[in-house]
């Protein structure tokens, strides 16, 4: 795999990141370890999880599986989602961050976390409290770098501004949703990350399975598909299935894949992988077959005409003021 810099940090990661959301939740430990081993054998070194995945089971499985080879892995996890019924068991307060990091360190069986990310914006916690606490964790050596996920551009910019003002550790990365079925970050988030040098680690690069051809117009989602569970990603998937535009994008991906003799997943993943500013898309696999198929996206080169077909059918309507600024700039 190609090696890329993690934003402006000195850390290098592989061009694909293995997401462990399925570990301990949708697949058992034996299957999880098989997928992890296959990814590492393929040259992967970058692994992402979260404390909430499987109620901590994902981190526990990774902790047992990686204990003997921790030094060769760039390990990322996230906090913010509720881990229990207590009103303080989630969020981005100093209290919860302190509890969350200790829990993750224990479950992961490690002395440090390479990339510690806030899983989503918390409107209840003062941003100064969140960013200053993350800075403390870096200074204490429990965390090497910090990042954000599911932030708007103004929220991310404010966090970066606070870090610069107070000389706190700035976010090194953003983990946003990004695929041919969801290009919204191209309005502000992706340009902001490019300008500030943040690594971009897209989740759901296959549109929750939509771009693999798994879902069909007018048909119920297949059993055990992403659209059938009760997670936030399931809600997003069901919303996608209501939009005709998304099926048009999926069909275009399928046509390009057929012309290249590749799978739709490989084409869709390669498109994300090769976008300017993207560091490492996050793969989520339930089976070894899915992982092997995704790994086939590496090294694929899309003909400019085929790439144009994908860009045209999935084009994002930028709206005001983005289109106005672009028009003035090009005059």
Q: Catalytic pick from 53, 145, 178, 215?
A: 53
Can the peptide bond before residue 245 be classed as cis, meaning omega within 30 degrees of 0? no
User: Please, are residues 38 and 1 in contact by the beta-carbon 8 Å criterion?
Assistant: no
Neighbours of 255 (CB within 10 A): 16
Tokens of 224: 């055990």
Partners of 76 in beta bridges: 48, 115
**Rounded distance between C-alpha atoms, residue 171 and residue 198, angstroms:** 7
Q: Take residue 57 and report the two structure tokens written for it.
A: 């089971």
* 53 annotated active-site: yes
For 282, counting Cβ atoms within 10 Å of its Cβ (0-12 exposed, 13-18 middle, 19+ buried), the class is buried
67: exposed, middle or buried (C-beta count within 10 Å: 0-12, 13-18, 19+)?
A: exposed
Q: Beta strands 199-200 and 171-175: pairing type?
A: parallel
Whole-number Å distance between alpha carbons of 12 and 18: 15
> CA angle, 244 as apex, 228 and 213 as ends, to 5°?
55
H/E stretch holding 96? helix 94-108
Just list the catalytic residues. 53
């Amino acid at each position: 795999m190609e090696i890329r810099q993690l934003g402006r940090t000195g850390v290098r990661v592989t061009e694909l990141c293995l997401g462990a959301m399925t570990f301990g939740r949708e697949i058992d430990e034996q299957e999880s370890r098989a997928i992890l081993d296959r990814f590492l054998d393929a040259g992967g070194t970058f692994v992402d999880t979260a404390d909430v995945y499987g109620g901590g089971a994902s981190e526990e499985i990774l902790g047992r599986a990686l204990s003997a080879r921790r030094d060769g892995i760039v390990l990322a996890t996230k906090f913010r989602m509720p881990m229990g019924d207590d009103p303080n068991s989630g969020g981005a307060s100093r209290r919860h961050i302190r509890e969350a990091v200790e829990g993750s360190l224990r479950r992961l069986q490690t002395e440090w976390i390479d990339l510690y990310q806030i899983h989503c914006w918390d409107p209840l916690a003062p941003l100064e409290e969140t960013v200053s606490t993350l800075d403390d964790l870096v200074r204490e050596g429990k965390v090497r770098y910090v990042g954000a996920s599911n932030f708007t551009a103004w929220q991310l910019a404010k966090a970066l501004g606070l870090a610069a003002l107070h000389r706190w550790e700035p976010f090194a990365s953003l983990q946003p949703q990004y695929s041919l079925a969801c290009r919204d970050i191209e309005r502000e988030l992706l340009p902001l990350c490019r300008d500030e040098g943040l690594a971009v680690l897209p989740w759901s690069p296959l549109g929750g399975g939509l771009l693999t051809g798994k879902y069909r117009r007018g048909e119920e989602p297949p059993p055990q598909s992403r659209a059938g569970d009760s997670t936030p990603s399931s809600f997003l998937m069901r919303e996608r299935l209501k939009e005709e535009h998304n099926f048009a994008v999926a069909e275009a991906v399928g046509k390009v894949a057929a012309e290249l003799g590749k799978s739709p997943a490989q084409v869709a993943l390669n498109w994300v992988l090769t976008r300017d500013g993207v560091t490492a898309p996050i793969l989520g696999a339930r089976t070894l077959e899915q992982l092997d198929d995704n790994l086939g996206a590496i090294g694929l080169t899309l003909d400019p005409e085929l790439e144009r077909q994908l860009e045209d059918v999935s084009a994002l309507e930028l709206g005001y003021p983005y289109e106005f600024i672009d028009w003035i700039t090009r005059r």
